[in-house]
Structure 1
Amino acid sequence: MTRSTATATGFVAVLLWALLALLTVGSAPTPPLLLNAICFAIGGAIGVVWTLATGGFSRLRGVGWRVYAFGTAGLFGYHALYFTALRLAPAAEAGLIAYLWPLLIVLFSGLLPGERLKPGHVIGGLVGFSGAALIIGGGAGFGSGAMAGYLAALACALTWSGYSVLSRRLGHAPTETVAVFCLATAVLSGLLHLGLEDTVWPADTLSWASAIGLGLGPVGLAFYVWDIGVKRGDIQLLGVASYAAPLLSTLVLVIAGVAAPSWTLALAALLITGGAGLAARASLKD
Structure 2
Amino acid sequence: MATNTKSSGIALALAAILIWSTLALISTRLSRISPFLILTIAFLISGFISLLRVKAWRIPLTTILVGAAGIFGYHSLYFKAFSLAPAVEANLINYLWPLLIVVLSPVILPGYHLTFRHILAALLGLTGAALIVTEGRLTIDLIYLPGYLLAFGAAVTWAVYSLLTKRLPPFGTESVSVFCLISGLLSLVIFLLTGGRVSDFQSLTITEWTLICLAGIGPLGAAFYFWDAALKRGDPRTIGSLAYLTPLLSTLNLLIFANKTLTLISGLAMILIIGGAVLGSLERQTG
Q: Normalised by the size of structure 1, how large is the TM-score?
A: 0.76
Which of 154, 157, 171 is equivalent to 2:155? Answer: 157
Tell me how far apart the structure 2 counterparts of residues 5 and 129 of structure 1 sit (CA, whole Å).
Answer: 24
For 1:261, the equivalent position in structure 2 comes to 262
Identity of aligned residues (%): 37
Shift of 1:215: 0.7
For 1:80, the equivalent position in structure 2 comes to 76
Secondary structure at the counterpart of residue 138 of structure 1: coil
Tell me how far apart the structure 1 counterparts of residues 279 and 123 of structure 2 sit (CA, whole Å).
Answer: 10
Contact 1:98 1:154 in 2 (8 A): yes
Structure 1 residues 130, 247: closer, same or farther in 2, change over 3 A? closer
Tell me how far apart the structure 1 counterparts of residues 286 and 191 of structure 2 sit (CA, whole Å).
Answer: 46
Which of 18, 32, 47 is equivalent to 2:21? Answer: 18
Which of 116, 123, 127 is equivalent to 2:120? Answer: 123
Contact 1:18 1:249 in 2 (8 A): yes
Q: Could you list the runs of 5+ residues in structure 2 that have no partner in the other structure?
A: none
Shift of 1:99: 4.2
Contact 1:103 1:275 in 2 (8 A): no
Contact 1:25 1:86 in 2 (8 A): no
Contact 1:13 1:222 in 2 (8 A): yes
Contact 2:43 2:184 in 1 (8 A): yes
Tell me how far apart the structure 2 counterparts of residues 130 and 165 of structure 1 sit (CA, whole Å).
Answer: 23
Secondary structure at the counterpart of residue 78 of structure 1: helix
The alignment of Structure 1 onto Structure 2 pairs a total of residues equal to 276
Structure 1 residues 207, 152: closer, same or farther in 2, change over 3 A? farther
Structure 1 residues 90, 58: closer, same or farther in 2, change over 3 A? closer
Q: Could you list the runs of 5+ residues in structure 1 that have no partner in the other structure?
A: none
Which of 79, 94, 103 is equivalent to 2:99? Answer: 103
Task: Confirm or deny that 1:209 pairs with 2:244.
Answer: no
For 2:174, the equivalent position in structure 1 comes to 176
Task: Confirm or deny that 1:248 pairs with 2:249.
Answer: yes
Structure 1 residues 218, 151: closer, same or farther in 2, change over 3 A? same
Structure 1 residues 216, 59: closer, same or farther in 2, change over 3 A? closer
Structure 1 residues 7, 123: closer, same or farther in 2, change over 3 A? closer
For 1:39, the equivalent position in structure 2 comes to 42
Contact 1:243 1:277 in 2 (8 A): no
- 1:126-184: CA deviation from partner (whole Å, max 9, x where unpaired): 43443455445833766899987666554433221111112222121122311111111
Contact 1:57 1:176 in 2 (8 A): no
For 1:113, the equivalent position in structure 2 comes to 110
Q: Which amino acid aligns with 1:182?
A: C
Secondary structure at the counterpart of residue 27 of structure 1: coil
Secondary structure at the counterpart of residue 173 of structure 1: coil
For 1:30, the equivalent position in structure 2 comes to 33
- 1:10-67: CA deviation from partner (whole Å, max 9, x where unpaired): 643332112111112222222222221111011111x236xx3xxx424633x11010
Deviates more, 1:145-154 or 1:116-125: 145-154
Secondary structure at the counterpart of residue 187 of structure 1: helix
Secondary structure at the counterpart of residue 116 of structure 1: coil
Tell me how far apart the structure 1 counterparts of residues 235 and 117 of structure 2 sit (CA, whole Å).
Answer: 20
Tell me how far apart the structure 2 counterparts of residues 66 and 44 of structure 1 sit (CA, whole Å).
Answer: 18
Secondary structure at the counterpart of residue 26 of structure 1: coil
Secondary structure at the counterpart of residue 155 of structure 2: helix
Tell me how far apart the structure 1 counterparts of residues 190 and 182 of structure 2 sit (CA, whole Å).
Answer: 12
Tell me how far apart the structure 1 counterparts of residues 100 and 9 of structure 2 sit (CA, whole Å).
Answer: 25
For 1:189, the equivalent position in structure 2 comes to 187
Tell me how far apart the structure 1 counterparts of residues 68 and 45 of structure 2 sit (CA, whole Å).
Answer: 15
Tell me how far apart the structure 2 counterparts of residues 253 and 167 of structure 1 sit (CA, whole Å).
Answer: 32
Secondary structure at the counterpart of residue 176 of structure 1: helix
Deviates more, 1:261-270 or 1:66-75: 261-270
Deviates more, 1:264-273 or 1:17-26: 264-273
Structure 1 residues 59, 161: closer, same or farther in 2, change over 3 A? closer
Shift of 1:74: 0.4
Structure 1 residues 168, 90: closer, same or farther in 2, change over 3 A? same
Tell me how far apart the structure 2 counterparts of residues 142 and 192 of structure 1 sit (CA, whole Å).
Answer: 29
Task: Confirm or deny that 1:48 pairs with 2:50.
Answer: yes
Shift of 1:228: 4.1
Q: Which amino acid aligns with 1:101?
A: W
